[in-house]
C-alpha cells in the first residue's frame, strides 16, 4: 500500500489528535468561550478605537498634536496645532 | 486645557486596568517558559534512553503545560485593546517602534507555537522520536522568542533608542531596527525575565512532586524523585543566572533610569562610596519625606555595595532622589540639569512642535525649519513639558523599595532551597525519601512565592519608571485618552471578575490533573 502524502498525513495528525482529545476538549471549549468574550464582547462593546472615533481618517496626527499641545504646562497659551 | 483637565481618576483607572491585565497575563507566561525547558529535558532523556518512564513523565508535564497554555492564550491581546482605547496618544506617538516587535511576536507566536504544539500533543507515535523531540523544544523556543519581542517593546519604553520623532506625522519612526531589537536594555531584560520564568517552572515542578511524596503515592514516587532532581538542577542554574542578569539589569537601570534605582534603594541623597541598603524602615503606605530626610531610618546596609552595583567601582558616584531633582555634576564633568531646567526645556520643545505644525499648515517653510531645529534640540526633555511639579518626577518609593527586596529575598531563598534539595539528594542517595517533610511542605509553599517574586520584578520595572510611559518622552498623563473614568472603571471590574473566574477554572483543572497523576 503506498505511503500517504504529506498533506494527508498532516491532516490525519490533526484529525486524529482532535478526535482523541480528553482534557483537550475542555480546554478548547474554554479557549473558544474566552475568544468569544474577548473579540465579540470586549472588543466590540468596550474597546473602540479612540482615535478613529474622535478624528477623521488621515487626520490622527493633527488630533494627537492638538491633544499633546493642550496638555502641556505652557505659561502663555501656545498656538495649538491646526484643528482637523 | 492642560494635563489637569484630564480626569485624574481616568489616568489611575487606565493604569490600574493595564496593571491588572499585565499581571494576570504574566501568571501564565513564566510557567509556559519554565515548563517548556523541563519537559524538553525529560523528553530528551526519553530520546536518549528509550525508557518508557521518561515518556510518561514528559507527557505528564506536557499536559500541565497545555492547561496553562490554554488558559493564558489570548490574555495578552486585551492589552492591545487597551492601547487603542485608553492610551491612544501613546499608541500613536510610539508609531511603528511598538508595532514592529508586536507584529513579529504575533506571527512567530501563531505559526511557530501552533504548529509545534500540535505535533507535540498529537504527534506521539505518529512522527519520529527525533521530530517529536524537536517539536517539543521548538514549542518552548517559540514561546521564548515571543517573549523576546514583547520585552524589546517594553525595553524601548524604558530606554528609547533607534528612533527619531517626526513632527509631521507625530510619530516616532524607527531609524535602526538593530538598535531597537538588540538594545542592551532589551537583552538584559530578556535574560533576567526568562531566567526568572525558568525558576517558576522549576519551583512548580518541585512543588507538585513534593506533594506526591507527601501523599506517599507509590505510583508517582519515581516521577516525583526524577522531577525534583531535574527541577532542582534547572532551578539552581536559573536562580544563579537570574541573580547575575539581575545585577546587570540594575547596572543598566543606574545608567539610563537613575531615578528608578534611587527609588528602589530609597536613596534620597547620593554621593560616592554609597552602601547598598539591605533593609530600612520605609513606610510601605506613604511617600517618604525625601527632601528633608538624610536617609531612610534604621537602615542596614552593605558598605560600598550600591557604588559597585551602579558603577562597577568601589567609590563610584550614585545620584539620589534629591541630586536628580536638583541637578548635579557627573564624575566626567558633565552636568545633569535640574528638574526645573528639564521642565523648561520640555515646554520649549512642545511650544516648538506646535509652532512647527502651525508654520507647516500656513506654508511657512522657513519658520517650520527653524522650529524643527528647536524641537530637535530640546526633544530629549519633551516629556518634562507635561510636568507641573518636580515631585511628580519621583516614583512611589515604598512600592519600589519593598517589591525589589521581596524579589531579591525570594531569589536568594530559591538558590538556597534548590542547593539544599540537590545536596540532600546526593547525600542520602540510598534513601527512597531523602527529604524531611518540612522541606516538602516548603517546596509547595514556594510555588506562590515564585509568582510573587516574579510579579514584584514587574512592579519594580513599571512603577519605577513613573511618571513615564516612555522614559523622558511621554508621561502617563499625556499618554492617556481623554475618556471618562467610569468607562475604564467598569471594564476594570469586568476584567477582575473574568480573570478571577478563569484563574479559578485553571487552578481547578490543574489540581484535578495533578491529583490524577501521570497515566502510567
Task: Give the closest-approach CA distance of B5 to chain A in angstroms.
Answer: 8
**Does residue B466 contact residue B257 with C-beta atoms inside 8 Å?**
no
Burial of B117 (0-12, 13-18, 19+ CB in 10 A): buried
Best mutation target among B79, B88, B359 (most A Cβ atoms within 10 Å) is: B88
Say what the pLDDT of residue B6 is.
66
pLDDT tens-digit map of B54-105: 999 999 999 999 999 888 888 888 888 999 999 999 999 997 787 788 888 8
Say what the pLDDT of residue B352 is.
95
Check whether A2 has a pLDDT greater than 80.
no
Band of pLDDT at residue B24, cut at 50, 70 and 90: very high
Check whether B484 has a pLDDT greater than 90.
no
- When CB atoms are compared, the residue of B66, B84, B482 closest to A47 is B84
The region of weakest confidence among B92-106, B350-364, B419-433 is: B92-106
pLDDT tens-digit map of B307-350: 999 999 999 999 999 999 999 998 888 999 999 999 999 999 99
Best mutation target among B89, B368, B475 (most A Cβ atoms within 10 Å) is: B89
The answer to whether B78 faces chain A, any CB pair under 8 Å, is yes
Grid coordinates given for B475:
508621561
Please report how many Cα atoms fall inside a 13 Å half-sphere around the Cα of residue B389, on the Cβ side: 4
Q: B168 to chain A: which residues are within 8 Å by CB?
A: 61
Q: Do B89 and A68 touch (CB under 8 A)?
A: yes
Q: How many residues does chain B have?
A: 520
Residue B105: name the closest of B153, B67, B63 by CA: B153
Q: 3-class SS at B287?
A: coil
Q: 3-class SS at B468?
A: strand
- When CB atoms are compared, the residue of B168, B358, B513 closest to A82 is B358
Cα separation, B336 vs B353, in Å, equals 24
Q: Residue B436 CA to chain centroid, in angstroms?
A: 35
Check whether B268 has a pLDDT greater than 80.
yes
Give phi and psi for B44, each to the nearest 5. Answer: -65, -40
Q: Which residue of B has its CA nearest to A80?
A: B354
Check whether B147 has a pLDDT greater than 70.
yes
**Residues ≥6 apart with Cβ < 8 Å to B226:** B42, B53, B57
3-state secondary structure B221-274: HHHHHHHHHHHHHHHHHHHHHHHHHHHHHHHHHHHHCHHHHHHHHCCCCCECCC
Cα separation, B239 vs B111, in Å, equals 31
Please report how many Cα atoms fall inside a 13 Å half-sphere around the Cα of residue B478, on the Cβ side: 33
Say what the pLDDT of residue A81 is.
40
- Cell numbers 530609597 label which residue? B266
Q: Do A79 and B358 touch (CB under 8 A)?
A: yes
**What mean pLDDT, rounded, does chain A reach?**
82
Task: Give the closest-approach CA distance of B502 to chain A in angstroms.
Answer: 9
- In this structure, what DSSP letter does residue B215 have? T
Please compute the mean of the pLDDT values over residues B457-465 and round it to a whole number: 94
Task: Give the closest-approach CA distance of A22 to chain B in angstroms.
Answer: 11
- Cell numbers 470586549 label which residue? A42
Q: Do B121 and A34 touch (CB under 8 A)?
A: no
Please compute the mean of the pLDDT values over residues A25-51 and round it to a whole number: 90
Say what the pLDDT of residue A74 is.
66
Cα separation, B118 vs A44, in Å, equals 30
Task: Give the closest-approach CA distance of A8 to chain B in angstroms.
Answer: 13
Check whether A79 has a pLDDT greater than 50.
no
Check whether B246 has a pLDDT greater than 90.
yes
Please report how many Cα atoms fall inside a 13 Å half-sphere around the Cα of residue B184, on the Cβ side: 8
Residue B475: name the closest of A73, A50, A9 by CA: A73
**Does residue B289 contact residue B321 with C-beta atoms inside 8 Å?**
no
- Cell numbers 507584529 label which residue? B103
Domain range summary for chain B, segments of one domain joined by +? 3-255+448-516, 264-336, 339-386
Band of pLDDT at residue B239, cut at 50, 70 and 90: very high
Please report how many Cα atoms fall inside a 13 Å half-sphere around the Cα of residue B410, on the Cβ side: 25
Best mutation target among B121, B122, B378, B507 (most A Cβ atoms within 10 Å) is: B122
Q: In angstroms, what is the C-alpha Rg of chain B? A: 25
Amino acid at each position: 500500500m503506498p505511503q500517504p502524502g504529506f498533506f494527508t498525513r498532516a491532516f490525519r495528525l490533526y484529525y486524529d489528535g482532535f478526535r482523541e482529545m480528553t482534557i483537550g476538549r475542555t480546554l478548547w471549549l474554554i479557549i473558544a468561550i474566552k475568544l468569544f468574550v474577548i473579540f465579540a464582547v470586549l472588543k466590540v462593546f468596550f474597546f473602540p478605537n479612540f482615535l478613529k472615533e474622535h478624528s477623521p481618517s488621515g487626520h490622527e496626527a493633527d488630533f494627537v498634536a492638538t491633544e499633546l499641545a493642550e496638555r502641556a504646562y505652557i505659561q502663555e497659551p501656545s498656538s495649538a496645532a491646526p484643528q482637523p | 486645557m492642560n494635563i489637569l483637565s484630564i480626569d485624574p481618576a481616568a489616568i489611575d483607572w487606565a493604569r490600574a486596568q493595564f496593571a491588572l491585565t499585565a499581571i494576570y497575563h504574566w501568571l501564565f507566561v513564566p510557567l509556559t517558559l519554565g515548563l517548556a525547558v523541563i519537559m524538553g529535558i525529560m523528553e530528551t532523556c526519553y530520546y536518549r534512553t528509550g525508557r518508557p518512564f521518561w515518556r510518561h513523565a514528559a507527557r505528564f508535564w506536557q499536559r500541565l503545560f497545555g492547561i496553562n497554555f490554554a488558559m493564558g492564550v489570548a490574555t495578552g491581546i486585551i492589552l492591545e485593546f487597551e492601547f487603542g482605547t485608553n492610551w491612544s496618544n501613546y499608541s500613536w506617538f510610539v508609531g511603528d517602534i511598538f508595532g514592529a516587535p508586536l507584529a513579529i511576536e504575533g506571527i512567530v507566536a501563531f505559526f511557530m507555537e501552533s504548529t509545534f504544539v500540535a505535533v507535540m500533543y498529537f504527534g506521539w507515535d505518529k512522527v519520529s522520536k527525533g521530530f517529536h523531540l524537536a517539536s517539543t523544544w521548538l514549542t518552548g523556543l517559540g514561546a521564548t522568542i515571543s517573549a523576546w519581542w514583547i520585552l524589546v517593546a517594553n525595553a524601548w519604553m524604558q530606554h528609547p533608542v533607534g528612533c527619531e520623532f517626526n513632527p509631521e506625522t507625530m510619530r516616532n519612526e524607527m531609524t535602526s531596527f538593530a538598535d531597537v531589537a538588540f538594545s542592551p536594555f532589551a537583552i538584559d531584560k530578556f535574560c533576567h525575565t526568562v531566567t526568572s520564568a525558568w525558576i517558576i517552572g522549576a519551583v512548580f515542578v518541585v512543588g507538585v512532586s513534593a506533594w506526591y511524596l507527601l501523599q506517599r503515592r507509590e505510583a508517582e514516587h519515581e516521577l516525583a524523585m526524577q522531577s525534583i532532581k531535574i527541577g532542582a538542577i534547572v532551578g539552581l542554574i536559573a536562580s544563579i543566572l537570574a541573580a547575575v542578569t539581575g545585577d546587570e539589569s540594575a547596572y543598566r537601570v543606574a545608567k539610563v533610569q537613575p531615578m528608578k534605582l534611587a527609588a528602589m534603594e530609597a536613596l534620597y541623597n547620593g554621593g560616592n562610596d554609597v552602601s547598598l541598603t539591605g533593609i530600612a524602615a520605609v513606610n510601605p503606605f506613604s511617600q517618604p519625606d525625601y527632601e528633608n530626610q538624610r536617609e531612610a531610618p534604621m537602615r542596614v546596609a552593605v558598605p560600598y555595595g550600591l557604588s559597585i552595583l551602579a558603577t562597577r567601582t568601589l567609590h563610584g558616584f550614585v545620584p539620589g532622589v534629591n541630586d536628580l531633582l536638583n541637578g548635579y555634576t557627573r564624575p566626567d564633568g558633565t552636568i545633569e540639569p535640574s528638574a526645573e531646567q528639564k521642565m523648561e526645556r520640555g515646554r520649549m520643545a512642545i511650544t516648538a512642535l506646535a509652532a512647527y505644525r502651525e508654520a507647516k499648515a500656513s506654508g511657512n517653510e522657513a519658520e517650520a525649519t527653524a522650529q524643527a531645529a528647536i524641537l530637535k534640540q530640546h526633544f530629549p526633555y519633551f516629556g518634562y513639558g507635561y510636568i507641573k511639579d518636580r515631585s511628580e518626577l519621583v516614583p512611589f518609593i515604598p512600592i519600589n523599595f519593598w517589591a525589589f527586596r521581596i524579589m531579591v529575598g525570594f531569589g536568594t531563598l530559591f538558590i538556597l532551597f534548590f542547593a539544599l534539595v540537590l545536596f540532600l539528594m546526593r547525600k542520602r542517595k540510598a534513601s527512597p525519601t531523602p527529604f524531611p517533610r518540612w522541606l516538602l511542605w516548603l517546596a509547595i509553599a514556594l510555588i506562590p512565592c515564585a509568582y510573587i517574586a516574579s510579579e514584584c520584578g514587574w512592579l519594580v520595572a513599571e512603577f519605577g519608571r513613573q511618571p513615564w510611559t516612555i522614559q523622558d518622552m511621554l508621561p502617563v498623563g499625556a499618554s492617556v485618552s481623554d475618556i471618562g473614568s467610569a468607562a475604564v472603571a467598569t471594564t476594570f471590574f469586568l476584567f477582575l471578575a473574568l480573570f478571577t473566574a478563569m484563574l479559578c477554572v485553571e487552578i481547578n483543572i490543574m489540581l484535578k490533573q495533578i491529583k490524577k497523576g501521570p497515566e502510567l
